[in-house]
Chain A
């Protein structure tokens, strides 16, 4: 059998080549564990037999990447019953690296490609790290998947950088950095041209012959002191109590388990010897692996995001396309942002508004962002000038000539949009894609205003465009697959994540966030303490408290959308049932408190800054003597979104589970720790310890009995629960 780690010797230098024959990338699977153990045993044996025969060791990779990290597929299937096995496996993998690190010979990692997570942890067990001067990512991003760097990453970085720097710069945020930044952080030692990687590694080994320190880690040398001191150091001890508190402040009370375990493993390990520390690290890792949160986060941020990035929603059989000249109509906040991201991606942009002045104001947005980037050293002035030069502001439709990609972002009015497209289609290329950045208007109706409805499509950006990662692509009745493929290619070019949804009122994101906002505002009508409503949102894991968000979203806009929905129901001969939130919204508008924009909403504002909840809230919406269970408040907010998402799946508004999960997290703030609106159902942990769709359904029924029929499980959910199936 071919080994996943090859043992090659040349001129007294051992090269441990990471090259898993069964996969395109190396992962920390059993094959790796076994062959690495075998290779290191052989090394140790050979050193024992004749120490002078070996000068040093190189760890290198024969793959495009250096090493990809843990085998997530396997790990996500673990349950608490697997804890002992996982612990033993992790310990075995680490014992091998420890053996290599203490074998008495200089070890150098020659990093040719990405080394993330387990990959970097292998490299950290080397005494020296050399990286090829190419674009590649280094880091310990485990935290973003709900894990901790349990392959020695916590223990070694704490010993390399001290508790504070290891936690703040590397472990708790898990940044993926390029080689230059990694060198600045001290994660690596040298950057060399890619074709000199192995020779540099050999040269280093030759250069340290006879230097005993080069063959040891700092923490194994006599007199080692941890940078910044251990927790028994009074200076560190004075700050230590604030570490957990700051973490909780950053996560706004949402119970992210991974950073908590990282913090605990780092601090506890810092007070002990290396061997004990690394064992503590393994225990905290295993706790995460067998838990549900890691599975939720990995489903969303590894599997689902990976599927979308791999083009899961892109219609098959359509050759890649490239937008060259983008016509952006309307230079308001959205149009300005769309122009910016398009120009940054190298596209020509014509930014059209009714006056040249308005169009130029839209372009100024790019000026501001680029200036900031230059100031922060993230971009050269030359590059910034190039980007700016690609944006042409105008009030003249004629300048749109030759555009192959149109994104309209004018005021939300069917009539206005029809008028604009009537002009646009005359000047742009005859096969130009016709996109509208509407957030609510039906694409099929908008498409009636153009000659080529098959090329008409919704491209819903989120505000602010340059920051928000999601684009919701809406296919109208007549939209053809080519149009979908073209927009997906465009989103890829501007480095956004696309989801593809059907043309129903509010599409997916606006529809689902509407239920969330109504649920939160409705609580006020019930007499729930407004501070508790806000805190329930934050502790549940939403990025913004619901009343605060409502001020941003604007109650007047909500009313407009509601009136349209109501009119549509009535036009279909139905009876519109108002939501409890509507009376609150109407009252707030009547009181002149509709939004942050107007400087007054559920919150008070001074000079545009939010100062606190409006002091008159208690008078308008008296706080009830008995408050509902806090857990109920939290779950009402998450459940209402997930239930509406199931309805979107039922109705075909959503086509895939990854779209549902990623769309809900990236677009409308569904708590990332739950892995998205559908993964939340699949992985729901009930109070009684049961997990999954059935438990979720039972809880939905419980909420429906207490709070109303809007929590009734939809048929699709009942069916899944009955069949014991997950959404997949």
Chain B
């Protein structure tokens, strides 16, 4: 059967997702065209107009990120009018979803070369800008027990018995690992600096990281979701379902949750023939992919079941996996994943830090962590890696790759 190979994986640095962030001045379309340009430069034999499709994940696909930004980017970047473009949205799983869809289409033999990835300028198009009935329509919210994600994350911590100290310790470790990885240049292969129209540099590194963060320094931060839970009533909603829980222990805050950042990612996938035709060297192959639905109110317990499903499809066991990248949406999500996977070692999980330290540019993150995973498998000369994310609405997504 045809294989789907990863030929390249690149990303922008992650800029702080607010007005003072370096990438705030950069339009989302420019984040994407910058990466498309870079893809051409990095792969000089690539014939851009032979790419079958560009699939981009965007979670708030409105305004500057709206109207199928993928096709717009293809045109704007001069990839050739023959190249199609599509935007998709599986919330936080969008970036990885685009990779998985690309891989499936390549493996099916119907297409040869696809660019997948995602973009999110959270400073310019704030989270929730696209509304949606789950949160905004009372009838729907009442029938399906909507609560904001942070309540779900705190509920996971409560159910799993993760204390405030536990989650803060995890967060501090994410910071320490990210700082070390940056210092050692582990991300330089993937990061494509963002430039202005004159070619002047705007940002060339992940700027969200706070080196020197400790569990103690985090301990003073106020829980972010306590008021939403207590006063706005979302705890009551969740506890109508989780009847055995007396009260939710609100442990998450800005310091142990994923950062709000701007960024984009691209992954070039194709079959063997396309690699030969475009002079590309395969770095890894997609072994299996999985997506699942999970209980929507707690919302964030999907990674474990998704990882299991991907392992089953691959015919692998968790012991075969050398490295895991889990999106650190919230500390408890990553901690629960390790627990769900037979206490998978923290030493092999997010070895270069994660979204708590570097940020989570919603639609772009899946492509970013997959690239980080491939880079690190190569650096360590390991074989199998698994990338996974929790997803709004109660879903989970996973991808297993094998280094070549």
Enumerate chain A interface residues (CB-CB to B < 8 A).
231-232, 237, 240-250, 252-253, 260, 263-264, 267-268, 529-532, 534-536, 539, 612-613, 627, 630
Contact = CB atoms under 8 A, between A and B. Distances in A.
B142 A244 contact: yes
A263 B243 contact: no
Nearest to A253: B240
Contacts of A536: 243
Contact of A267 (B137, B228, B244): B137
Contact of A241 (B136, B236, B246, B247): B136
B237 interface: yes
Nearest to A240: B136
B243 A242 contact: no
A237 B147 contact: no
B232 interface: yes
Contacts of A245: 141, 146-147, 232-234, 236-237
Contact of A244 (B138, B235, B239, B244): B138
Given A243-B138, A249-B232, A264-B138, 19 more contacts: A237-B128, A240-B135, A242-B232, A244-B237, A245-B147, A245-B233, A245-B237, A247-B233, A248-B236, A248-B237, A248-B240, A249-B235, A250-B233, A268-B137, A529-B243, A531-B246, A534-B246, A613-B246, A627-B244
12 contacts: A231-B136, A243-B138, A244-B142, A245-B146, A245-B147, A252-B236, A264-B142, A268-B138, A529-B243, A535-B239, A536-B243, A612-B247
Contacts of A243: 138
A249 B236 contact: yes
Contacts of A627: 244
A239 to B, nearest CB: 9
Interface in B192-237: 228, 232-237
A530 B245 CA distance: 9
A280 to B, nearest CB: 10
Nearest to B147: A245
Given A243-B138, A244-B146, A260-B138, A531 B236 contact: no
- Leading 9 A-B pairs by shortest Cβ distance: A249-B233, A245-B233, A242-B232, A531-B246, A249-B236, A241-B135, A264-B139, A246-B233, A535-B243
Contacts of B243: 529, 531-532, 535-536, 539, 630
Contacts of A240: 135-136, 138
A241 B244 contact: no
B293 interface: no
Given A535-B239, A535-B243, A536-B243, A242 B233 contact: yes
Interface in B115-142: 128, 131, 135-139, 141-142
Given A531-B245, A535-B243, A612-B247, A241 B146 contact: yes
Interface in B95-110: none
A245 B245 CA distance: 18
A172 B131 CA distance: 24
B21 interface: no
Interface string B379-398: 00000000000000000000
A356 to B, nearest CB: 46
A237 B135 CA distance: 9
A404 B26 CA distance: 86
B235 to A, nearest CB: 8
B244 A529 contact: yes
Interface in B219-271: 228, 232-237, 239-240, 243-247
B20 to A, nearest CB: 21
B136 A612 contact: no
Nearest to B131: A237
Interface of B: 128, 131, 135-139, 141-142, 146-148, 228, 232-237, 239-240, 243-247
A708 B146 CA distance: 38
A250 B243 CA distance: 17
Given A260-B138, A260-B142, A612-B246, A241 B148 contact: yes
A246 B136 contact: no
Contacts of B138: 240, 243-244, 260, 263-264, 267-268
Contacts of A246: 232-233
A300 B142 CA distance: 26
A534 B246 CA distance: 9
Nearest to B146: A241
A230 to B, nearest CB: 12
Nearest to B228: A242
Contacts of B136: 231, 237, 240-241
Nearest to A531: B246
A260 B143 CA distance: 10
A424 B228 CA distance: 58
A240 B232 CA distance: 10
A643 to B, nearest CB: 24
Nearest to A262: B138
A313 B235 CA distance: 44
Given A245-B147, A247-B233, A263-B138, A539 B240 contact: yes
Nearest to A533: B243
A536 B243 CA distance: 8
A437 B142 CA distance: 44
A627 B243 CA distance: 11
A630 B244 CA distance: 10
A253 B135 contact: no
A172 to B, nearest CB: 12
A433 to B, nearest CB: 46
Contacts of A263: 138, 142
Contacts of B147: 245
Contact of B240 (A250, A267, A535): A535
A529 B159 CA distance: 14
Contacts of B244: 529, 531-532, 627
Given A531-B243, A532-B243, A539-B240, A248 B233 contact: yes
Contacts of A539: 240, 243
A78 to B, nearest CB: 21
Contacts of B247: 612
Contacts of B131: 232, 237
A529 B245 CA distance: 9
Contacts of B233: 242, 245-250
B148 A253 contact: no
A3 B40 CA distance: 84
A252 B233 CA distance: 9
Contacts of B139: 260, 264, 268
A633 to B, nearest CB: 8
Contacts of A532: 243-244
Nearest to B148: A241
B126 to A, nearest CB: 9
A136 to B, nearest CB: 33
B134 to A, nearest CB: 9
A265 to B, nearest CB: 9
A283 to B, nearest CB: 11
A112 to B, nearest CB: 37
A627 B136 CA distance: 35
Contacts of B148: 241
Contacts of B232: 242, 245-246, 249
B125 to A, nearest CB: 12
Nearest to A251: B236
Nearest to B246: A531
Contacts of B137: 264, 267-268
A146 to B, nearest CB: 16
A154 to B, nearest CB: 13
A529 B244 CA distance: 6
Contacts of A264: 137-139, 142
Nearest to A535: B243
Contacts of A232: 131
Given A237-B131, A253-B240, A539-B240, A244 B246 contact: no
A268 B141 CA distance: 13
A529 B243 CA distance: 9
A613 B240 CA distance: 17
A246 B233 CA distance: 5
